Structure 1
Amino acid sequence: MKRESLDFQFENEMTWEVPGPGVKRQIMGYNNNLMMVKVKFEKGAIGSVHTHSHTQATYVVSGTFEFTNNGERKIVKPGDGVYIKPDAPHGCVCLEAGILIDTFSPIREDFIKE
Structure 2
Amino acid sequence: MIEGKRFFKEKDSNWEPAGEGITRQITGYNAQLMMVKVKFEKGAIGYLHEHFHSQASYVASGKFRVTIDGKEEILQKGDAFFVNPNLKHGAECMEAGILIDVFSPLREDFL
**Normalising by the residue count of structure 2, what TM-score does the alignment of the two structures yield?**
0.98
2:45 matched residue in structure 1: 46
Q: Give the 3-state SS of the residue equivalent to 2:47 in structure 1.
A: strand
4+ aligned runs moved over 3 Å, structure 1: none
Alpha-carbon deviations, 1:9-46, whole Å to 9, x = none? 11111111101111000001100000000000000000
Letter in structure 2 aligned against 1:10: K
Paired residue total: 111
For 1:6, the equivalent position in structure 2 comes to: 5
Overall identity of the aligned pairs, in %: 54
Indicate the larger mover: 36-45 or 8-17.
8-17
Whole-Å Cα distance in 2 between the matches of residues 47 and 35 of structure 1?
18
| Deviation string, structure 1 residues 23-72 (Cα, Å, up to 9, x no partner) | 00000110000000000000000000000000000000000000000110
Query: Alignment RMSD, CA only?
Result: 0.5
- Distance, in Å, in 1 between the alignment partners of 2:18 and 2:93 is 15
Structure 2: tracts of 5 or more residues without a match: none
Match of 2:101 in 1: 102
Residue 5 of structure 1 deviates from its aligned partner by 1.0
Q: In structure 1, list runs of 5 or more residues that go unmatched.
A: none
Q: 2: CA distance between counterparts of 1:19 and 1:5?
A: 19
